[in-house]
Each structure stands twice: as structure tokens, then as C-alpha cells.
Amino acid sequence: PITGGFSIKEWMSNVWSFAKEDSNRVIFSLKVGFAVLLVSLLILFRAPYEVFGTNIIWSILTVAIMFEYTVGATFNRGFNRALGSLLAGIFAVAVGEVALRTGHVAEPIIIGISIFFIGTITSFMKLWPSLVPYEYGFRVTLFTFCLIIVSGYRMGSPIRTAMDRLYSIAIGGIVAVLVNVLVFPIWAGEQLHKELVNSFNSVADSLEECVRKYLEDDGSDHTEFAKTVMDEFPDEPAYRKCRATMNSSAKFDSLANSAKWEPPHGRFKHFFYPWSEYVKVGAVLRYCAYEVMALHGVLHSEIQAPYNLRVAFQSEIQDASSHAAELVRSLGKDISNMKRRLQNSLLKRVHSSTERLQRAIDMHSYLLTSGHDLLDYSKPLPKISSTLSSAPSDLSAQLAEPAGSNRPEPPQEAQAPAETLPPAPAESYNETMKKQQRRLYSWPLREVDTFEEGTVGGAGNLLPRMSALESTTALSLATFTSLLIEFVARLDHLVEAVDELAKMAKFKNEDS
Amino acid sequence: PITGGFSIKEWMSNVWSFAKEDSNRVIFSLKVGFAVLLVSLLILFRAPYEVFGTNIIWSILTVAIMFEYTVGATFNRGFNRALGSLLAGIFAVAVGEVALRTGHVAEPIIIGISIFFIGTITSFMKLWPSLVPYEYGFRVTLFTFCLIIVSGYRMGSPIRTAMDRLYSIAIGGIVAVLVNVLVFPIWAGEQLHKELVNSFNSVADSLEECVRKYLEDDGSDHTEFAKTVMDEFPDEPAYRKCRATMNSSAKFDSLANSAKWEPPHGRFKHFFYPWSEYVKVGAVLRYCAYEVMALHGVLHSEIQAPYNLRVAFQSEIQDASSHAAELVRSLGKDISNMKRRLQNSLLKRVHSSTERLQRAIDMHSYLLTSGHDLLDYSKPLPKISSTLSSAPSDLSAQLAEPAGSNRPEPPQEAQAPAETLPPAPAESYNETMKKQQRRLYSWPLREVDTFEEGTVGGAGNLLPRMSALESTTALSLATFTSLLIEFVARLDHLVEAVDELAKMAKFKNEDS
């Protein structure tokens, strides 16, 4: 209602889609309404009101403050509330008794000093790093103590007041917990489980998206970094999700923290379910995601490898990345289905396609370094894969054969993307090498003409801009592939972490 | 007290150092104690108690719940509390009046339904992403509404009850705000300012630490990734700080959010101080930090460039990184001192040392690719810088001259690290090129012996491990330098963002 919307209809549809996106939101809202209604009935009806008196309004307060989204969080908050109230009650009764015995003059002084001390100590304690999660408990302790001791002083019999209030709070707490657990419970564990699976998918999506854009990009629509720095990549939905994964550690922690308070439920049947392993797997996944972010950084870097060079390694990069993404997705699926399965075959496939990529880079590394003056980048380079396999009579293929025959070469993937460029006449390997040789001698005499001292920057900007040496831009491709390879290397650890989780959470064994 | 500590003394010293680390912690605690004491006096003394009656205990509750660490957060929470209470009061009075007129039978039904709806609607609204920061306000609305309407129903005259309660809450709120602002105020803006400066320093430290370790590492004590994945790099304090910077976006957001509520204060003298610019600079800095994380990833990668190769480029890498770190630190210092200064000279220095690095990589790129079989890595390679400048009669130096003379070459830095390795007899450039040439022909026939199909993994682990092609490991150095160069490229944007902040926040001009 604060949107200032001129279109009620649009606003309604927004709300509707928000509710539809996750029906738990509506369920949660209705549950809160139901819980406060239940506890209000205690006052609206005459009988309970006469038993408990005005203190019963504390149960409403308790419900409103205690009711959290997930069962675990509600338990946690309830624990804070209960322990806080209990401690406050004990302190208050003790101090109250002492104060009462010191006589009329000293009583308010002692009460005042005790309030000051409790306020100071609880506030200091809640800043202590390991006690930060219990911040709410300290608040409760403080205000409950003040309320009991002050109203005890004004209305007499602090124990009576304290007990009545504790009863009311207990009633509120019990109503909140019961409604939360019995009416369409929203389990933190279930949420954590889903979040983790989603993270796997978003990392896989983001990897594929990033590689696709890298190979598609023809350099013409290179958006400037400055415009994109504020995290706005509107055409990259998966990247945004992956970035959310990067920042999800706090969310995972809090969900796992809540989940620990939950009894066994649904698919998570045994006690001491290893929720903290979820956090660990999430951390390893995040380490993989760092590499995706770095890949993304290369994609949007100002120093770019020539398009043709990227296309030359297209099929290898694509194979490696799509196999890696498939493995990540499959791991996510196993967690989702709670199956334990060693992903040997997929992992081997990822390894072999990564090795193919490494081999391609290895054999054609002369393309990466200072090669820009010997190859005309305006013409498409021959695809590495086509020189490797599709033209067996070619010299390069002959030369490549011995290395390739060490192990069964994976069959040329049918899913390799349709050639967007006309098949260029493959430059003979011999010729390339001759040029390479020539380059070696003519090399340092080459003019580094793209470099200019001073300002090259944008309009009206006095800052000097860094200019990249044209000749090193090809190394950007090496960086991209290195990061991709490092991503794959980290997948080993991801597979291991997932297996550890599967073992500890007693997922169903299912060997593939 | 929950540490279960067997040593009271140790525990005391922990608490002491925690308090000493940031004296604001103690100040905050004492302020809370003082505020609750103040508000309790209203009840402990007879006069105010007789004026306000039992409702005055609500002011204690308000203080305990509203008192936040910073001034801005307290204002924000107070606003939530006030608006929430006000809305709840209006709703409650309106519903109460309607219910009263419908007669005795319908009254509780209407009240019950209204409670249910308010509970449902406020709970749903607080899930809406843009309203999440006002979560507390919705809670306040809910419980205040329930309290007023229920006690109004039981005790008559809801308006009277509502007004009394609002007065009490207002008193509590005013006390909380006054104490927070007048007694040693802790400003969110000041905190944000400091945090940002600290982030600059930690990024700079982390960069230097990472580069130092990269150049130091002789491969012998290479800790396994699996052991280090859980974010534990005990010997890398700066890395941990930098990682904290990465995750600081939520903290920056909330501090900036609080700072917006604060009146001009201290060094931040004008209205509408651009706190959101701090968040933007933080975001750009984080983009730079991503590169540092990626560098760190290369440092701990399993695929490592041979140590000697790294040492060969040592002086260039070190110059570029230390200049970059210096620039970052100097930017942080400017912000800290609120000076506006175009960092032209430092930026140029960073650029020129980065160009030197690029040039070195460019000229010696044959070392990076498949070069491992032509150079004996067990012997130290000649330092690039020494072949470039210290042996002018050498062929390589002669060859390098034309390219170097395009622009004034920065003088060989005196701060170049002391040679730890004995100055090896520099391999003649000619000889290297001959070998390079030989390699070109013998190349594809070379055995890739390090590659093995199947399992190579750790003890008792059935998972296949990825094995890196030995010949591509040198590319890891290219990755490292590319990432370093990309870091420098992003510094341009950082300088720009800082300048934008300086302009908008009207920092003192001071041209250097």
C-alpha cells in the first residue's frame, strides 16, 4: 500500500504473484492470524479471563513477538524467551526480597542500582560474538526483570506478579509453538535442504550462462564495466542467482541454527540430523562459485581475448563446462532425492573433457602468447576440434594423433553447437609454425602501438586509464580456461563433501 | 559466564580485552543501564507514578526494545515503534468503536475477526522484500493493536487505554533517544566511515599477503585444499579480513540505512550526506576484492606454476602488486581524512608497473606455454628484470630496448626485493630461442606421461581425482598475472568511485 501505485490492478497482480511464488508465505500469515486469535479468545471469553486476570495480555505479546517463520526459529526464540524470563524472574525475586528487607528508604535505591546493573551487563553480554544469536534472550531478561521488580515494588508481592506473568508468557509461548508445529509446519530443515539444492542449480546455470556468453560475445556490445559494476547484469539472471548464493552463508547458518532445534520430521527422520554438514557443503559449493565469479570477471573484463581465438577453443570449453555443470546439477539432484551415489562416471567424464581442454591449450599454446601479429584475427581460426578430428589427412591431425590415442577419445559430441561461422579453410599447421618461427625473430622489434601514455579515459574524465598491451590480450583466454579447470578441480572436493553429507545423513545407497 | 571456564582469570582477561578493543561497547552497555534506570525512576518515585498509573511500565518495555547500538538505528527503530503504535492505535479505536455499536453478541466476534485479519495482513506485508527492514514495525502494530483492543474490551474506553499507552511508549521512546544521542553518541555514519576505510586497508593487505605467499611458496608445504576449504587459513590474517570485506555488504547496507536517520554530526556536517555513496564505493571495492579472492584461489590451487617460473617474474609481480596496494591504501587514507585528491601520480605508477609486468609476460610468454620440457626448472631461471636491465650487453637487453624506449621507463626500483637465489648464469636469449624452435618440431611427439586414467586420489578414497597436465601448469602463472592486471584495471573504477564520493560528500580539495 506504500507503493503510491497509480494502478491498483498491477499492484494486486504483484501481490498475487508474490503469494503464488511461495505458498508458505500465505500459510505463515494465516498462521499468525490464527495464533493471535486463539490467544485473544482467552481474554474475549469470560472464564479464562477471570482465572488469569489482566496479566493474560502478556500472552498476546508473547505470541506476536515469538512467532517466527520456521518451526526451528520459533523454538529457538521460545527458548530465548523462556530462559530470559526465568532468569529475570529469579533475579527479580532475589533482589526484590533483599530490597524489601532493607527498609523503605533503601528499597528504591537498591532496586534502581539493580536495574542499572542488569541493563549494563545484559547489554554488554549480547555484544559478545558467541552470544550474539541470543541477543533477543538478553533483551527479554532485561525488560522482564524491570517489569517484575518495578511492578512488584508498586503493587507488592513480586513473586505473585512474577508467577502470573510467567504463566501468561508460557501460555502465549505454548500457543505459538503448537500453532507453528501443528498447522502446516514450515520446517527450517526443509528450507535449508531446498536452498542447498537451489544453490547447486544456480551455480550450474551460472557457469553455463557465463561460458555461453563468453563464446557468443563478438566484442561489439561490450558493456562498460563502470555501468555494470553496481551488480546489474539484466541479461544474466543466473549470474544474479549465483551472486545470491555467494552471499547465502548467513542464511545457511541461520537456517541450520534453526533446524537444529527441530524434532525429526518428514524426510529427515533420525535424531541429530547433520544440519551442519549442509553448511559445510554450502561452503565448498561457494568455493566453486568463487571460480564462477572469477570466470564472470573475465567475461566482463576490459582485456579480452580476440573473438576468433575464443571460438577456436569453443568445443573444448563448451564440453568441459557443460559436463561440469551437469555434474553439479546431478549432485544437487542426489541431495534433493536424498540418494547416495558416487558420481564416478560423470566425474570421469568431466575430467576427460577437461583434459581434452588442457591438451588443446597445451598444443595450441602458441596461439595464446604474442600470437596476434602472426594470425589474422579478422578471419576465423580453424576450430581446434576440427583440426584434431574432422580432417584426418591434414598434417596437424596426424601430429595430434599420437597424443590423442593414449586413451579412448570421447566421441565428437553431437550436441556441439551449430557452426555459426562458415568453415574456414584450415590454415596448414606447417604454415603456422613457419610464421611462429618468423615471429620469434621479428618479435621484440614489433611496435607496441596501442599503448599510450597519459589519458585515454572516458568523456570529461581526467583520470588516466589503464591500457592493456594488445599482445597480452590472448592470455585472457588462458585465464578463462585456467579458471574453468580450477573450477573442475574443486568439483572433486564438492563431490567428496556431498558424499560425506550423504553418509552422515544416511541417504539411501544407490550405486550408479 | 557460559564458557564453563576453569580459569576465571583467563576469562576476565578475555572480557577485558574485548572491552578494550572497542570502548564503545562499554559505553553502549552503560548507556542502556542508564536509560532503563531513568525510566524506572518514573515509577520508583511516587509523583510520576500517580500521574501515569500502571501503564508507565510500557515505557520500560519501550526502552529495552528500542535501545540500539547506534543513534541512527535507534531513530529507525523508534520510527518503527511510533508509526506502528500509531497505526495500531487508529485501527484499534476504529474497530473498537464499530464493535461497541454492534451490541454485546457481535462485539467479541468482530474483535476476533479483526485480530485475525491484522495478524494475517501484517505478517504477509513484512515478508514483502522492500518492507523487510520495517519488520519490527509490523510486529509492533500487531501486538499493540491486540493489546489495545482486548484490554479496551475488558476494561472499557479503548481510547483512554490507547492514549495512556501511547504516552507511556512516547516517554520510553524519548528517554531512549535522548540518552542515545546526548550521552557519548555512537553514530552509524562514523562507524560506516571507519568500516569503509578498514575495508580498503584489508583489501590492500590481503593483496600483498597473497602475492608474497605466492612468490615465497616453494611448493613443499602445499596444504591440501580439502583441509583449507573451511575458510581456515590460520597463517593468513589479511585474507580472513578480506573475506569479511566480501561479506560486508549487508553490514554496509544496514549502517548506511541507519546513518540516513542521523542528523549532521561531527565531521559529517551537511544535510543529506551521501551515505549511499559509501555503499557504492564499498561495492566497487568488493569487485576489486573478488580479484584478490581469485588470486588467492590460484595461490591455493592444486595446479601450480613451477616455483622457478614464479620467481622469474618476481620483481614485476611484486612491483605491480605493491604499487596497487599502495594506491588502495592511499585511497582509504584520503577517505579517512576526508580529503579529495586525484591520485594521478600513484595511478600512473601502478599503470606503468603493470605495463612492465605485461611487457615481461609478453616477451617471455614462451616460458608459460609448454615450455617445461625445454627449461630445467630445478635450476633457477634468470630474473626477467635482470635480463632486461642489469646486463645491457646481453642480446635480450638489446632486443628489449626498442620496445622499452617508447616511453620513459620507470627507474629500476631500489625497493626490489633482495635476491634470495644466487644470480644464475643468464641463459642466452639466442639459445632459448633455438630450443624454442626445436620444441616446435619435436612438440606433439612428446609423451604426456603425467596423465593417468582412473584413480589417483587420496588414501582410502575411491573418487577419481583430476590430474592436471604437467605442461599446462605454467599457465597458472599467466592466470595469476592476468588476475593481477584485472585487479589494476578495476582500480580505475575504484579511483573514480572514491572521487565521486569525495565530490558528493564535499571533501576538502587538495591536489597532489
Closest residue by Cα to residue A436 from A387, A384, A363: A363
What integer best gives the mean pLDDT of chain B?
Answer: 74
Distance from C-alpha of A464 to C-alpha of B349, rounded to nearest angstrom: 11
Q: Which of B18, B40, B226 sits opposite A128 (nearest CB)?
A: B18
Can you tell me the mean pLDDT for A182-193?
A: 90
Contact B110, B95 (CB under 8 A): yes
The pLDDT of residue B331: 92
Put simply, the answer to whether B154 touches A402 (Cβ < 8 Å) is no
Cα Rg for chain A, rounded, in angstroms? 33
Give the residue from chain A lying closest to B63, CA to CA: A143
Write out chain B residues lying below 8 Å of A347, CB-based.
463-464
Nearest residue of A to residue B455, measured between CA atoms: A348
Which residues does chain B have within 8 Å of residue A150's beta carbon, measured at their own beta carbons?
40, 43-44, 57, 60
Q: How far apart are CA B457 and CA A245, in angstroms?
A: 29
Nearest CA in chain A to B1: A125
CB contact under 8 A, A462 and B150: no
Average pLDDT over residues B301-307: 74
Q: pLDDT-derived band of residue A479, with 50, 70 and 90 as boundaries? A: confident
- Provide the whole-model pTM: 0.74
Residues of A in contact with B119 (CB under 8 A): 29, 32-37, 64
- Find residues 259-288 of chain A whose CB sits inside 8 Å of chain B: 280, 283-284, 287
Distance to chain A for B271, nearest Cα, Å: 25
Cα angle vertex B358, ends B312, B305, to 5°?
A: 40
pLDDT for the residue numbered B60: 84
pLDDT at B232: 56
- Residue for grid cell 620440457: B373
Q: Tell me which chain B residues have a C-beta less than 8 angstroms from the C-beta of A369.
A: 362, 365-366, 368-369
pLDDT, mean of residues B371-394:
43
Degrees to nearest 5, angle at CA B72 with B69 and B76: 100
Residues of A whose CB is below 8 A from B366 = 369
Phi (first) and psi of residue A131, to 5 degrees: -100, -5
> Taking each helix axis from N to C terminus, what angle separates A395-404 and A344-363, rounded to the nearest 10 degrees?
140
Whether the CB of B178 is below 8 Å from some CB of chain A: the reply is no
- Using CB atoms and an 8 Å cut-off, which of residues 202-231 of chain B contact chain A? 225-226, 229-231
Task: Report whether A42 contacts A52 (CB < 8 A).
Answer: yes
Identify which of B60, B142, B461 has the shortest CB distance to residue A143.
Answer: B60
Q: Which of B365, B448, B476 is the closest to A406 by Cβ? A: B448
Q: Which of A29, A40, A488 sits opposite B123 (nearest CB)?
A: A29
A16 at interface of B, judged by CB pairs closer than 8 A: no
**Given CB atoms, is A342 within the 8 Å cutoff of chain B?**
yes
pLDDT band at B218 (very low <50, low <70, confident <90, very high): low
| A40–B112 C-beta distance less than 8 A | yes
Q: How far is A354 from chain B (nearest CA, A)?
A: 9
d(CA B178, CA A331): 55
- Choose among A296, A326, A92: nearest CA to B60: A92
Mean pLDDT along residues B13-37:
89
Comparing A87 with B472, the larger pLDDT belongs to: A87
pLDDT tens digits, one per residue of A109-148? 888 899 999 999 999 998 888 888 888 899 889 988 888 8
Looking at the complex, does the CB of residue B301 fall below 8 Å from at least one CB of chain A? Answer: yes
Question: Is B483 at the interface with chain A, CB within 8 A?
Answer: yes
Q: What confidence score (pLDDT) does residue A330 get?
A: 92
pLDDT(A504) > 80: yes
Which residue in B221, B478, B267 sits closest to B358, CA to CA? B478
Residue with cell 498475487: A16
Q: Are B474 and A453 spatial neighbours (Cβ–Cβ below 8 Å)? A: no
Give the integer Cα–Cα distance in Å for A245 and A90. Answer: 44
Q: Do A64 and B139 touch (CB under 8 A)?
A: yes
Cell of B12: 576476565
Q: Chain B residues with CB inside 8 Å of A26's CB?
A: 124
Q: pLDDT grade, residue B468 (50/70/90)?
A: low
Query: What number is the average pLDDT over the span B43-55?
Result: 75
Q: Please tell me which residue of chain B has the smallest CA distance to A398.
A: B444
CA distance B156 to chain A (A): 13
- For residue B474, how many C-alpha atoms fall within 13 Å in the half-sphere facing its CB? 25
- A389 versus B277: the higher-pLDDT residue is B277
* CA angle centred on B461, ends B457 and B463, rounded to 5°: 65
Chain A residues in contact with B471 (beta carbon < 8 A) = 362
Given this model, what pLDDT does residue A472 score? 65
Cβ <8 Å between B469 and A65 = no
Span B236-263, average pLDDT: 82
User: What is each CA distance from A412 to B98, B264, B449, B451, in whole angstroms?
Assistant: 77, 67, 24, 21
Residue A2 touches chain B, beta carbons under 8 Å: yes
Q: Which residues 39-78 of B have a C-beta within 8 angstroms of A?
A: 40-41, 43-45, 49, 54, 57, 60-61, 64-65, 67
Residue identified by cell 551487563 is A121
Q: B-chain residues within 8 Å CB-CB of A18? A: 128
Model confidence pLDDT, tens digit, residues B124-182: 998 888 888 888 899 889 988 888 888 777 766 667 766 777 788 888 889 999 999 89
Distance from CA of B267 to the nearest CA of A (A): 27
First-last CA distance in chain A? 53
Instruction: Report the residue of chain A nearest B437, measured CA to CA.
Output: A437
CA A289 vs. chain centroid, Å, equals: 9
Query: B217: distance to nearest CA of chain A, Å?
Result: 19
Shortest Cα–Cα distance, A441 to chain B (Å):
8
Measured between CB atoms, does B377 come within 8 Å of chain A?
no
Task: Flag whether pLDDT at B296 surpasses 70.
Answer: yes
Calpha distance B26→B19 (Å, rounded): 6
> Is 50 exceeded by the pLDDT of residue B279?
yes
Q: Count the neighbouring beta carbons within 10 Å of the beta carbon of residue B258.
A: 25
Question: What does the alpha-carbon distance between residue A64 and residue B201 come to, in Å, rounded to a whole number?
Answer: 44
Return the C-alpha cell found at A358.
Answer: 588442457
User: Nearest residue of B to residue A107 by CA position?
Assistant: B44
Helix B8-21 crosses helix B24-44 at what angle (to 10 degrees)? 90
A76 or B362: which leads in pLDDT: A76
The answer to whether B43 contacts A111, with C-beta atoms less than 8 Å apart, is no
**pLDDT tops 60 at residue B414:** no
The pLDDT of B184-201, averaged and rounded, is: 91
- Return the residue matching grid coordinates 508473547: A62
B124–A29: do the CB atoms touch at under 8 Å? yes
Question: Which residue in A has a C-alpha nearest to residue B17's C-alpha?
Answer: A128
Give the lowest-confidence range in A33-37, A86-90, B395-399.
B395-399
Residue with grid cell 602468447, as numbered in its chain: A369
Closest to B476 (Cβ–Cβ): which among A146, A482, A492?
A482
Residues constituting chain A: 512
Find the CB nearest B436 among A440, A490, A493.
A440
Q: What is the pLDDT of residue A120?
A: 92
- Per CB-CB distance under 8 Å, the chain B contacts of A495 are 463
Please give, rounded to a whole number of angstroms, the shortest distance from the CA of A366 to a CA of chain B. 7
- Tell whether B374 lies on the interface with A, counting CB pairs under 8 A: no
Quote the DSSP letter at residue B339. Answer: E
Chain A residue closest to B297 (CA)?
A291
pLDDT digits (tens, 9 = 90+) for B328-356: 999 999 999 888 887 788 888 888 888 88
Give tens-digit pLDDT for A322-378. 999 999 999 999 999 888 887 788 888 888 888 888 888 777 766 665 444 444 444
Which amino acid belongs to residue B490? Answer: R
The secondary structure of A256-274, three-state, reads HHHHCCCCCECCECCCCCC
A466 has pLDDT over 70:
no
* DSSP class per residue in A193-208: HHHHHHHHHHHHHHHH
Number of CB pairs, chain A paired with chain B, less than 8 A apart: 390
DSSP B382: P
* Chain B residue with minimum CA distance to A433: B440
What's the pLDDT score for residue A368? 64
